């Protein structure tokens, strides 16, 4: 029945307003946020048009539970703010209203015009501004719903749902593309990518996430215009990369980015990392475990992800600096700063994340110090849990000896008496092997590293990616992470 309804709706001419019953298309009231419905009802009661729009409608039609809800209306930002007590106008590039309901935020946008310049007297006034590459830097010219649909990125995101009357509104054959699971950019792809290069990243992310094919006219220009990513402000690019990595399909998404020539613009080190021995395995392990945590609704830290993505370049520079005569720890510190500073040219890693990333890296050589005082001091460090999960990841990738990771797993899950015995055993072993390689942790750049024999070692799981400190975890310091190396 739903398929038959799709067919009836889709045989009509494109570019005109088409309406279909939400219930008959498979949308259920429980799919929609009560707060988003309330925003629509309140604005409609005040005499405005209001619809749930974009990803929430798309996901509901595809049978995926929507998570974020946006509303589009012909009310101005000031009109919207007037209707709600906890409403805040945000943004300069695009003025939006955030309506707050406890922990949930409903983002409300005003219908935007698809004209290049504002017509005098148009609601909202002003002009559409762009830079020399064609990227739109300001767009607060308001228009009709049909114009707003034409300004959206993909046809499947240009569907409007009126929860009051249970109507889905389609201007651009979005329902047809929903049925075919095809991602198609609205308008001429080259122009739309110049207006906002981030659309290329969204195309990749949505295609992987929704298991959609990308229409040839949408896919082909991506590689040709990949260099436009460099025009996106680094802070905004960081937000988009977070979405890519936390989509639940990070490995597949990165593979698609590389296929379409976008990876270099995002993470210039990525291709180099994949060429290094063990580099690809290291990243794939980190992202596989991150994907699983996302699917299980467990917390994930962007700091841990970036620590994983940039680690092999840090190790490379660390070895080079140390070989030039610098002491080991100062060499590591210098390597970290060089790599983070180099990445800022494309993606700005916020200081709150960069600081955690540095702590994770700095603690790696400290895991090799397994004397009584040193081991206890390591466990007491704020970012011990994140650094320990990173150690497990290194062992799982074969970068360091599995024995080191197993020792720390035993140490943190044991009582004080057994901890001391583990330290004593380690000291006796070090004494026996004095002058023949020491602890054999394999942590020094350029040093020999015995690869793991495979299999699932103790403590090898998939990490705790919440980014919480060990002091925030309390008793969890006394046992290994049950979810292995993907944390932070």
State the number of CA atoms in the 13 A half-sphere of 299 facing the CB: 10
Q: Which residue would you say has higher pLDDT here, 119 or 188?
A: 188
For residues 321, 324, 330, 334, the Cα torsion angle rounded to the nearest 10 degrees is -30
Q: Which CATH number fits domain 294-478: 1.10.10.410, 1.10.3090.10, 1.10.10.10, 3.40.50.300?
A: 1.10.3090.10
Residue 134: alpha-carbon gap to chain centroid: 26
In order of 97, 140, 186, the CA distances from 147 in angstroms are 20, 13, 12
Q: What pLDDT sits at residue 470?
A: 44
Lowest mean pLDDT among 181-195, 238-252, 324-338: 238-252
Q: What is the DSSP string of 243-274?
A: HHHTSS-HHHHHHHHHHTT-HHHH-TTHHHHH
Q: Which CATH number fits domain 2-180: 3.30.460.10, 3.30.10.20, 3.30.230.10, 3.40.50.150?
A: 3.30.460.10
Determine the topology of domain 187-266 in CATH: Hydrophobic Seed Protein (1.10.110)
182-183 and 18-21 strand pairing: unpaired
The SS3 call for residue 439 is: coil
Domain ranges of the chain: 2-180, 187-266, 294-478
Instruction: List residues bridging with 72 in a β-sheet.
Output: 51, 109
pLDDT of 59-104, one tens digit each?
999 988 898 999 999 999 999 999 999 999 998 778 999 999 999 9
When pLDDT is averaged across residues 276-280 and rounded to a whole number, the result is 71
| Model confidence at 402: pLDDT above 50 | yes
Distance between terminal CA atoms of the chain? 48
**In whole angstroms, how large is the CA radius of gyration of the chain?**
26
pLDDT of 18-63, one tens digit each?
999 999 999 988 889 999 999 999 999 999 999 999 999 999 999 8
| Model confidence at 115: pLDDT above 80 | no
Q: Of 291, 13, 302, 37, whose CA–CA distance to 170 is shortest?
A: 13
Residues classed as catalytic: 68, 70, 153
- Cα–Cα–Cα angle for 189, 195, 200, rounded to 5 degrees: 55
Q: Of 479, 309, 325, whose CA–CA distance to 393 is shortest?
A: 309
Lowest mean pLDDT among 180-194, 277-291, 376-390: 277-291
pLDDT of 206-234, one tens digit each?
999 999 999 999 999 999 998 898 888 88
When pLDDT is averaged across residues 146-150 and rounded to a whole number, the result is 95
């Amino acid at each position: 029945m739903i398929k038959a309804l799709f067919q009836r709706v889709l045989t009509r001419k494109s570019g005109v307003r088409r309406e279909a019953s939400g219930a008959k298309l498979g949308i259920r009231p429980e799919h929609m946020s009560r707060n988003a419905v309330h925003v629509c009802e309140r604005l409609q009661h005040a005499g405005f048009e209001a619809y749930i729009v974009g990803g929430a409608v798309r996901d509901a039609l595809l049978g995926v539970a929507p998570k974020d809800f946006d509303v589009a209306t012909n009310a101005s930002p000031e009109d919207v703010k007037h209707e709600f007590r906890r409403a805040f106008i945000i943004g300069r590039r695009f003025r939006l209203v955030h309506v707050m309901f406890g922990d949930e935020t409903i983002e409300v946008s005003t219908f935007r015009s698809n004209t290049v310049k504002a017509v005098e007297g148009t609601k909202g006034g002003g002009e559409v501004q762009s830079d020399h590459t064609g990227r739109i830097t300001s767009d607060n010219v308001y228009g009709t719903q049909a114009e707003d649909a034409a300004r959206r990125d993909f046809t499947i995101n240009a569907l409007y749902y009126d929860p009051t009357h249970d109507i889905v509104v389609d201007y651009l054959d979005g329902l047809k593309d929903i049925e075919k699971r095809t991602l198609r950019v609205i308008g001429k792809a080259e122009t739309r990518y110049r207006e906002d290069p981030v659309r290329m990243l969204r195309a990749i992310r949505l295609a992987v996430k929704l298991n959609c094919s990308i229409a040839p006219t949408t896919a082909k220009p991506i590689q040709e215009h990949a260099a436009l990513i460099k025009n996106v402000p680094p802070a905004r690019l960081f937000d988009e990369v977070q979405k890519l990595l936390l989509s639940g399909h990070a490995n597949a998404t990165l593979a698609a980015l590389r296929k379409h020539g976008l990876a270099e613009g995002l993470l210039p080190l990525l291709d180099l990392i994949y060429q290094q021995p063990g580099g690809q395995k290291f990243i794939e392990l980190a992202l596989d475990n991150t994907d699983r945590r996302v699917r299980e609704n467990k917390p994930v830290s962007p700091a841990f992800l970036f620590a994983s993505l940039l680690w092999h370049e840090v190790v490379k520079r660390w070895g080079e600096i140390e070989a030039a005569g610098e002491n080991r720890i100062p060499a590591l510190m210098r390597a970290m700063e060089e790599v983070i500073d180099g990445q800022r040219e494309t993606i700005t890693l916020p200081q709150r994340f960069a600081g955690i990333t540095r702590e994770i890296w700095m603690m790696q050589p400290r895991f090799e110090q397994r004397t009584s005082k040193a081991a206890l001091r390591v466990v007491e460090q704020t970012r011990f849990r994140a650094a320990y999960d990173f150690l497990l990841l290194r062992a799982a990738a074969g970068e360091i000896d599995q024995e080191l990771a197993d020792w720390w797993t035993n140490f943190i899950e044991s009582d004080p008496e057994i901890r001391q015995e583990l330290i004593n055993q380690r000291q006796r072993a070090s004494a026996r092997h004095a002058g023949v390689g020491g602890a054999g942790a394999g942590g020094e750049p350029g040093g020999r590293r015995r690869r793991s024999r495979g299999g699932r070692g103790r403590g090898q799981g998939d990490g705790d990616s919440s980014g919480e400190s060990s002091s925030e975890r309390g008793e969890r310091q006394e046992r290994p992470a049950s979810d292995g190396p993907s944390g932070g």
